[in-house]
Amino acid sequence: MRLDKFLGEKNIGSRKQIKEYVKNGRATINGVVAKSCDIHIDENKDEIAFDGEILTYSEYSYFMLNKPGGVVSSTREGKTTTVVDLLKKEGIKNLFPVGRLDKDTVGLLLLTNNGLLAHNLLSPKKHVDKEYEVHLLHDITDSELEILERGVDIGDGDKTLPAKAFRAESRDGHQVIHLIIHEGRFHQVKRMLESVGNEVVFLKRLSMGTLQLDPELSEGEYRELTDEEINCLLDNKLSKKQ
């Protein structure tokens, strides 16, 4: 890879700016000041530094966000804050959210620039588990939980796939259940509860495949995925059952 391309991918500056920076001796390769921005480097082996700070190379980036309410799961949304806006200071090009959470839904959201991984996570054929914490307006009965697990008609032609549903500790006077689904249909969790005569008052995603929401992350906070988390996703260990 050319040095200027590498520095560009690290968002050091525009091509014109990088040329000037290199000319001024601000970039080094293996400790030696770079003499030209069009020199070729081995991005996986050479030590590249800018203003003394070593820059590491990775083809793809992976971030876990605890999505807050009021933020949309898209890359552009006019004047509304997007999840990509929350990571803007990272300076990573082409980041996008893997799937969508409703504007008022909080919890786990993966952002990456790896399109193949995103496809695998979202493909209906992969049956990737997505677990939600659901706070309900009304208490739910055992028979209604069973109905949710068998699959329900949410008004778009096909019943939802079999799911798992179980009660959790009530909070703020509301019944709480955990619901594990394998699809990502529009407003699916809310529509599933509506089908049994209930209403969702708070919704939080806890996991997606093997990826679990870090309990140390407050709403709006994020971190890079660990190597172990990345490897589990890339090795197609997408289901917690595997």
Amino acid 62: pLDDT = 95
Tens digits of per-residue pLDDT, 61-72? 999 999 999 999
Q: How confident is the model over 101-105, as a mean pLDDT?
A: 96
In the predicted model, is pLDDT for residue 238 greater than 60? no
Mean pLDDT computed over 108-117: 96
Confidence band for 195, pLDDT divided at 50, 70 and 90: very high
Across the range 37-52, mean pLDDT stands at 92
Compute the distance between CA of residue 138 and CA of residue 130 in angstroms, rounded to an integer.
Answer: 23
Q: Structure tokens of 161?
A: 């796939």
Average pLDDT, the chain: 92
**Whole-angstrom Cα distance, residue 167 to residue 5?**
52
Q: What is the pLDDT of residue 57?
A: 78
Closest C-alpha among 55, 49, 48, 62 to residue 94: 62
- pLDDT tens-digit series, residues 144-171: 999 999 999 999 889 999 999 999 999 9
- Confidence category of residue 242, pLDDT binned at 50, 70, 90: very low
**pLDDT at residue 240 in the model:** 47
pLDDT digits (tens, 9 = 90+) for 7-18: 987 878 888 999
Reduce the secondary structure of the chain to three states and give it as a string: CEHHHHHHHCCCCCHHHHHHHHHCCCEEECCEECCCCCCECCCCCCCEEECCEEECCCCCCEEEEEECCCCECCCCCCCCCEHHHHCHHHCCCCCEECCCCCCCCEEEEEEECCHHHHHHHHCHHHCCCEEEEEEECCCCCHHHHHHHHHCCECCCCCECCCCEEEEEEEECCEEEEEEEECCCCCCHHHHHHHHCCCCEEEEEEEEECCEECCCCCCCCCEEECCHHHHHHHHCCCCCCCC
* pTM for this entry: 0.80
Q: Is 102 a catalytic residue?
A: yes
pLDDT, residue 77, reads: 67
In the set 4, 42, 46, 102, the catalytic residue is 102
Domains of the chain as residue ranges with CATH:
3-55 (3.10.290.10), 62-114+220-234 (3.30.70.580), 129-208 (3.30.70.1560)
Average pLDDT over residues 33-42: 94
The pair of structure tokens assigned to 15 is 């091509």
- Read off the tokens for 76: 């552009």
* pLDDT value for 135: 98
Tens digits of residue pLDDT in 115-151: 999 999 998 888 899 999 999 999 999 999 999 999 9
Q: Which of 89-93, 182-186, 196-200, 235-239 has the lowest mean pLDDT?
A: 235-239
